[in-house]
């Protein structure tokens, strides 16, 4: 199963873009990259996911390198409410294993005013 590596913590100024990197050098061709975040004492919240192409939604953008060995989650205008732990996850397993999501340590993003 592909593993991910993220920096343990990052700071970002309010109103600026937050760029959260993730390395997944052992990702296989049919594995997706998912991003979730968890605000203290809540369940994780889905942000975005992608396979090969860059993706954008109302919350964020996901930039995946051409070799797919790394990706960057971009929060275009970070607010104090974006302070959370951000998890980059590579979807593991085949259908018979239920496509479980395995969480790493994540990145603590602190948005500061």
Partner 1 sequence: GAVVSQHPSRVICKSGTSVKIECRSLDFQATTMFWYRQFPKKSLMLMATSNEGSKATYEQGVEKDKFLINHASLTLSTLTVTSAHPEDSSFYICSAHLGGSYGYTFGSGTRLTVV
Tell me which of 44, 60, 71, 88 binds partner 1, using CB under 8 A.
44
CA dihedral 108, 6, 61, 57 (to 10 degrees): -70
Per DSSP (E only), the strands in 5-103 are: 9-13, 18-23, 33-38, 45-50, 55-56, 61-64, 70-75, 84-90
53 lines the binding site for partner 1 (CB under 8 A): no
Tell me which of 21, 32, 55, 63 binds partner 1, using CB under 8 A.
32
Residues present in the chain in total? 113
- Quote the least distance from Cβ 110 to partner 1, whole Å: 15
- Quote the least distance from Cβ 16 to partner 1, whole Å: 26
The count of residues interacting with partner 1 (CB under 8 A) is 25
Instruction: Enumerate residues 6+ apart whose C-beta is below 8 A from 67.
Output: none
Residues that bind partner 1 (CB under 8 A): 32, 34, 36, 38, 41-46, 49, 51, 85, 87, 91, 97-106
């Amino acid at each position: 199963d592909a593993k991910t590596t993220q920096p343990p913590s990052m700071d970002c100024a309010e109103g600026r873009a937050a760029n959260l990197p993730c390395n997944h050098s052992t990702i296989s061709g049919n594995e997706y990259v998912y991003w979730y975040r968890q605000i203290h004492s809540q369940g994780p919240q889905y942000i975005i996911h992608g396979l090969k192409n860059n993706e954008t939604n109302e919350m964020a953008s996901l930039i995946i390198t051409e070799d797919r060995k790394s990706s960057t989650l971009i929060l275009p205008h970070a607010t104090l409410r974006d302070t959370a732990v951000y998890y980059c996850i590579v979807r593991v397993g085949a259908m018979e294993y239920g496509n479980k999501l395995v969480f790493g340590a994540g990145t603590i993003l602190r948005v500061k005013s």
